[in-house]
Amino acid sequence: MVVDFGSTNVTGMHVLSIENLRKYYGLENKPVRVTDPLQMLGEIDQELIGILGVDVVPARGRMSSFGFLNHEPLKEFITPWGQKVLVPEGFRTTNDDNGDTLIYPEGDTSATPSGRMPKTGYFFDAIIRQQPIDEEKLDPGDNLEEYGLVSETDLEYWKETTRKARATGKAVIAGLGGTALGDIAHIPGMRLKNPKGIRDIAEWYMSILIRPDYVRTIFDRQSEIALENYRRLHQVIGDNVDAVYICGTDFGTQNSTFCSPEQFDDLWLPFYRRINDWVHTNTTWKTFKHSCGAVEPFMSRFIAAGFDIINPVQLNASGMDPVLLKKEYGKDLVFWGGGIDTQKTLPFANPAKIREEILRLCDIFSKDGGFVFNTVHNIQANVPVENIVAIVNTIKEFNK
C-alpha cells in the first residue's frame, strides 16, 4: 500500500503536529518549515519521510497563495500559539486591535491585508475584498488576472525542482497551477493587491446560477492558458512527474452537493475533459482531483472527465460508503485518502479505535490496488501525537 504524508496542500500536516511528531521520535529540535502559509502546513523532511514510510514527494511551485516566493531565503517566525517555525522572506504580518494576525499580498504591508489568522486560530482565512459589482461592466478578464503564461524563470525553476524530486526515488506529484476552475481557495485573489471581478465566495456560488456565461468564459480562457503552460512545462519536466494536481474545487458539503450534476456537466465537465485529454495524450502524468464532501453522485462524472485520482474520500459525508465507492468506481479511479476520518476519529478517538478504523478501511480500499493511504484531508493542529503515531504503526502493521 502506497503512503502519502505531505505531498500536496490537501494531504499534509499542520506544523504543530509535525513538531510534536519530531519530539515523540526524538529527532533534532529545529523549527519546522512552513510549506503552505495559508493552512500553516509543514515540511515532511527526510527524517520523517523515513519514519512515516512516505512513498510520494512533492514538486512545489515558486509562489505561495499570498503571492510571495515560497522558498529560500527563510526566516524564523513565532506563531500565535508560541511555536518557532521557518517561513519565506515574504511572509510578513501585523496584528490588529483584536490580536489577530494579518498577512499581505506579495508580502507588501502597505497593501490591504488578504488573510487573517484569529488570535486563537491555527491557520489563515481569506479576507474578502469584493469591490462593488456593476453588472454592465463585469469583465471575465478580471477573474483571470492571476493567470498568465509561465516565464522562463518559472520553467527553469520547475525543471530543477522536478529533477530533485525525481532523484529521491519516490513518486512525484506536482501542483503546476492554473487549472483551479472555481476553487474557492483561489476566488478571493489573496495574492492580488487589488482583486477585481467576482471575489466574494458567496457571490461566486451565486454566479454559477445567475452568471453562468461569465463563469464559462473564465473557465474557457483559463483552460487555454493552462494548456499552453502545460505544453511548455512538459518540455522541461518530461517524465520527472508522475501525477499533477489539477483542481481543488469542492463539489460537496457534509450532506449534499454544491451544484446539480447537470450544472457540473455544463460548466466544469467540458473544461476538465479538455485538460485531462491533453495530459493523457501528450504525457505520462496521472491527473489528481480534490473534492471534499458528499460527492458520490459526481464520481461517474469525474471518470467521464478523465480524472485518474480522487481525493480525499470524505467517509463521514452522506453517501460516501467505502464499500460502495470501491465496488462501483475502484476500477476507474485511484482513491487517494480515506484512510481515517479526520473530523471525529483522529482528533478524539483513542489509538485502539484508530487502529481498528484504519485496518478496516485499508482492507477495503487497497484490494486489487488503486489506493494511496492518506487521511481525510490534512492533519490539523492539536491532534494528540499518540493518535498520529497510531496511524504510522497501523500502516506498518498492514503493510507487514
Question: 222 and 243 share a domain?
Answer: yes
Question: 9 and 78 share a domain?
Answer: no
- Contact of 269 with 292, CB cutoff 8 Å: no
- pLDDT above 90 covers what percent of the chain? 99
**Cα distance between residue 31 and residue 42, in whole Å:** 10
DSSP letter (8 states) at residue 185: T
| Phi, psi of 93, rounded to the nearest 5 degrees | -130, 160
400 has a pLDDT exceeding 90: no
- Listed in sequence order, the residues at least 6 apart from 371 whose beta carbon sits closer than 8 Å to its beta carbon are 1, 2, 334, 335, 336, 338, 362, 365
Question: 156 and 215 share a domain?
Answer: yes
Q: Which of 105, 127, 149 is the last residue of a domain?
A: 127
Question: 152 and 123 share a domain?
Answer: no
Tell me which residue of 90, 88, 78, 86 sits closest to 117, measured CA to CA: 78
- Which range has the worst mean pLDDT, 222-226, 253-257, 326-330? 253-257
Average the pLDDT over 220-242 and give the result.
98
Tell me which residue of 307, 200, 291, 198 sits closest to 248, measured CA to CA: 291
Report pTM: 0.97
91-148: per-residue pLDDT in tens?
999 999 999 999 999 999 999 999 999 999 999 999 999 999 999 999 999 999 999 9
SS3 sequence of 187-253: CCCCCCCCCCCCCCHHHHHHHHHHCHHHHHHHHHHHHHHHHHHHHHHHHHHHHHCCEEEEECCCCEC
- Contact of 291 with 249, CB cutoff 8 Å: yes
Question: 104 and 141 share a domain?
Answer: no
**β-strands 101-103, 2-3 pairing:** unpaired
2 has a pLDDT exceeding 90: yes
* Whole-number Cα distances in Å, 153 to 176, 230, 233, 291, 397: 14, 15, 12, 31, 45
260-278: per-residue pLDDT in tens?
999 999 999 999 999 999 9
Burial bucket for residue 217 (CB in 10 Å: 0-12, 13-18, 19+): middle
Question: 23 and 52 share a domain?
Answer: no
Only one residue has cell 479505535, namely 353
Q: Which of 127, 150, 168 is the last residue of a domain?
A: 127
Question: 291 and 303 share a domain?
Answer: yes
Q: Which of 111, 127, 143 is the last residue of a domain?
A: 127
Question: 235 and 315 share a domain?
Answer: yes
Other C-beta atoms closer than 10 Å to the C-beta of 260 total: 10
82-96 as b/e, with b when 16 or more CB fall inside 10 Å? ebebbbbebbbbeee
- Contact of 99 with 81, CB cutoff 8 Å: no
Residue 391 grid coordinates: 496511524
Domain limits at 71?
Answer: 15-43+64-127
Average the pLDDT over 74-83 and give the result.
98
Domain total for the chain? 2
Question: 79 and 144 share a domain?
Answer: no
What is the per-residue pLDDT for 365? Answer: 97
Mean model confidence pLDDT for the chain: 97
275-302: per-residue pLDDT in tens?
999 999 999 999 999 999 999 999 999 9
- Contact of 3 with 397, CB cutoff 8 Å: no
DSSP letter (8 states) at residue 107: G
- Contact of 127 with 201, CB cutoff 8 Å: no
